[in-house]
Amino acid sequence: MISSENNATGIPKNQGSTESTQEAIAYVSSREYLSDELRRLDLIFRRYIRDDTEVGSTTSYAGVVLSKEEICDLLEEENTFDQEILIEDKIIEMDYQIAKRLEATRACGRYISLLYISKLLSLSLFEQRCLVACIAPEIDPKYEKVYGYFENDTSIKTPSINLLMKIFISSEDERFEGRKVFSLQAPLVRLLLESGNDLSDNCIPLISRHLKLDDWVVNYLLDINILDSRLIHVAELIKTGQRENISTNSENVRILRFIDYYRNGRTKRNQILYFYGPDGAGKKEYVLSVCEHLGLPLIVADLEKILSSDLPFDEILRLLGRQIRISDGILCLENFQLLVSEERSQQIRINRILQMLHEFSETTFILGRTQWHLTNTDCRFAYVAVEYPYPSATERKKYWQELGRKYQLDANLNLNNFSEVFRFTPGQIENVLRLGENYSVWNGASDGRIETNDLTNACYTQSNRKLGELAKKIDTLYTMDMLVLPEDQMLQMKEICRQVKYRSIVYEKWGFEKRLALGKGLNIMFSGPPGSGKTMAAEVIANEIGLEIYKIDVSRVVSKYIGETEKNLGEIFHEAETSNVILFFDEADALFGKRSEVKDSHDRYANVEIGYLLQRMEEYKGIVILATNLNQNIDEAFLRRLHFNVAFPFPDKEQRKLIWLSIFPSGAPVEDKLDYDFLAEKFVMAGGNIKNIALNAAFYAAHAGCPIGIKQIMQAAKREYKKMGKTFLKSDFAPYYQLIEVVE
């Protein structure tokens, strides 16, 4: 045990304690208390100057000279030091006054930072005296001269360990014992002193090393409670416990009950509450609400910023741990999904985080997007994982209505449509409405009234845009009335749109989602020959529902390397979950073909990939459209998982006529007496080929400076037949073939 001038209570043994605490004046602040401690320190220094023969009469460095008399003048308060009173008696009197004022301060329930931090870290009285000596030059620059004088070097501004041992410890044996408090693992050095000083220089003898308080510790001891400046780029300090009428729901009650059980119950254990789910699902809001109830400050640290910081990872953890421990705060770590990996480097980081939490953080919230669980062998923590998923359509409708009241909405804006189509969290909905108002003002609305187009643009701005790196967005130009299909196929197309419209009623209100663990999305197959309208139909659905559609580039997805196709498809489905888009796989039989017979290891892995695709399709809650030219090539397992399988037949004569009648835009000049019956009967081809002929005919007409007529259509048809590898005979296309026999 290291002793000092007085006992651990700070009350001198030779003084009575009969005076009541009411006679002493309580300290108003930590700074007022430190002022008294510095007055006491001045007395200690005067005694040292008087008694220590090693202290010279003058000190000089680089032309600066300090005399013993000058230092004594700095340490003596004018008209307060009576030479007739011994210094020892004055020190005892100061100790007694400080002790009595501290008793009065505690009776008032006031807070003294140095005493709190000493109790928290179990600092000895000697260590407390060291803190006072170290903070002295931070408060009054006169101590820089004092320490320079004592060290016989005016360039030195802080105390050495040797000096502190001499002035605060009387016994030589206790001075050797006192070396322990300056080890790198001791709380004084590890948490309170500046680590970059010569304290960690092993080339310098320990007693010759100098001590400087960490800047954040100085601020804390002066009652300046702010975030460490080295953490401002990776963390945020939120002071809570100031709001009144905090609402309490069942989720808050559960969280508070869990925390209280392990903080204040029989089984005391550090708690980790892991909240996972999409951004904006309310995870952070629950953390803030709990901290408001507890009245504790919250430090929110972003792991994405921590991992990219120039400051070493371990140093950031040390600073965070100290901030949490000393401020009695709650730590919240965001973006934890960045560490959820099988990579050894990430596992090492997680272990270091857990070690820091075990040492410093009593209650910790960790926020991520993916599942994560503590190892079963780690019994240091009380751990619970809580999922905050995307809200249901019914819940989204409620959020849209509640949050929409804050904004001016156009009377024709139907928020119910947005709640059905876009799987947004409450936070995302709030962002969308704010962005919608921005677009509204930008587009000229003086009152900020949000229209449908404003909100639609805002929705896709909010959605995850990374999918554009893996797939190509299709501009949707076609509507349902432009489709030419048999009656049954047209009915199926309308049924698809209705399933999106009424899914919340069927799944949620009527309870069908409780019967379905998977398969809550919409998987659609379009099969038929090239040009039969599969891509057009996919665009129609996107247009009718109001969603963007992305065409998957099969050549970029399929890879000859084992595992790469699975990885690529995994990224597509992951991004689509948050992008609120339709996935359109053209030529899907290349991806979803029948599983092969296992003949080698590659075949075996290919079947594993197909199984993985089946799983992702069932898990996906959005819309997937698969298009194939050959329905018989599709694996039966996929067919069982389809909600719709729409066959696109080769168009008959009547359907071809309807296509010809609708193929030309209203602004295009077309001959009045165009023979549509001839075109439908003679040009036996799919809608895609008809579209090509109509477009090329328009260019022929533009070149000739005339309306689009049968002559231009015959010219374009001849080119299309040649491209298809078919003959274009005069006998087959009489009587109009003669129009193109001689072409200028």
- Tens of pLDDT, residue by residue over 389-401, are 888 888 888 999 9
693 and 639 together in one domain: no
**Distant-in-sequence, close-in-space partners of 58: CB < 8 Å, separation ≥ 6:** 65, 66, 67, 68
Quote the CA–CA distance of 626 and 616 in Å, as a whole number: 14
Q: pTM of the prediction?
A: 0.75
Residue 574 within a domain: yes
Please classify residue 448 by burial: count the beta carbons closer than 10 Å to its beta carbon, then call 0-12 exposed, 13-18 middle and 19+ buried: middle
Domain extent for 375: 229-387
pLDDT for the residue 16: 44
| Of 212 and 596, more confident | 212
Quote the CA–CA distance of 61 and 68 in Å, as a whole number: 15
Q: Indicate the range of 11-20, 151-160, 179-188, 294-303 predicted with least confidence.
A: 11-20
Q: What percent of the chain has pLDDT over 70?
A: 85
**pLDDT at residue 593 tops 60:** no
81 and 149 together in one domain: yes
Please classify residue 619 by burial: count the beta carbons closer than 10 Å to its beta carbon, then call 0-12 exposed, 13-18 middle and 19+ buried: middle
Residue 630 within a domain: yes
Q: What is the mean pLDDT of the chain?
A: 84
Provide the CATH number for the domain around residue 505: 3.40.50.300
Provide the CATH number for the domain around residue 667: 1.10.8.60
**pLDDT at residue 79 tops 50:** no
526 and 636 together in one domain: yes
Residue 13 within a domain: no
**pLDDT at residue 362 tops 80:** yes
**pLDDT at residue 324 tops 60:** yes
pLDDT for the residue 632: 66
Q: What percent of the chain has pLDDT over 90?
A: 39
Residue 544 within a domain: yes
**pLDDT at residue 140 tops 70:** yes
pLDDT for the residue 670: 92
Collapse the DSSP code of 330 into the 3-class scheme (helix H, G, I; strand E, B; otherwise coil) and give the result.
strand
pLDDT for the residue 672: 86
495 and 571 together in one domain: yes
215 and 299 together in one domain: no
Number of domains in the chain: 5
- 386 falls in which pLDDT band (50, 70, 90)? very high
- 456 falls in which pLDDT band (50, 70, 90)? confident
Report the b/e string of 392-408 with b at 16+ CB within 10 A: bbeebbebbeebbeebe
Residue 468 within a domain: no
Residue 709 within a domain: yes
426 and 500 together in one domain: no
Q: Indicate the range of 160-164, 229-233, 516-520 predicted with least confidence.
A: 516-520
30 and 172 together in one domain: yes
**pLDDT at residue 26 tops 80:** yes
Choosing from 189, 221, 253, the residue where a domain stops is 221
Q: Indicate the range of 181-195, 291-305, 430-444, 576-590 predicted with least confidence.
A: 576-590
pLDDT for the residue 602: 43
Quote the CA–CA distance of 444 and 439 in Å, as a whole number: 9
Pairing of strands 64-67, 58-61: antiparallel
**pLDDT at residue 471 tops 90:** no
Choosing from 347, 365, 387, the residue where a domain stops is 387
Quote the CA–CA distance of 461 and 431 in Å, as a whole number: 10
204 and 332 together in one domain: no
Residue 379 within a domain: yes
Choosing from 619, 647, 675, the residue where a domain stops is 647
Residue 252 within a domain: yes
| Of 518 and 683, more confident | 683
pLDDT for the residue 629: 80
70 and 153 together in one domain: yes
601 and 682 together in one domain: no
| Of 376 and 608, more confident | 376
Outline where DSSP puts E strands in 403-547.
471-474, 522-527
pLDDT for the residue 461: 82
> In the predicted model, what is the mean pLDDT of residues 178-196?
88
487 and 430 together in one domain: no
545 and 437 together in one domain: no
| Of 605 and 408, more confident | 408
| Phi/psi of residue 388, nearest 5 degrees | -120, 90
> In the predicted model, what is the mean pLDDT of residues 177-186?
89
**Distant-in-sequence, close-in-space partners of 395: CB < 8 Å, separation ≥ 6:** none
Contact 641, 519 (CB under 8 A): yes
- Separation of first and last alpha carbons in the chain: 112
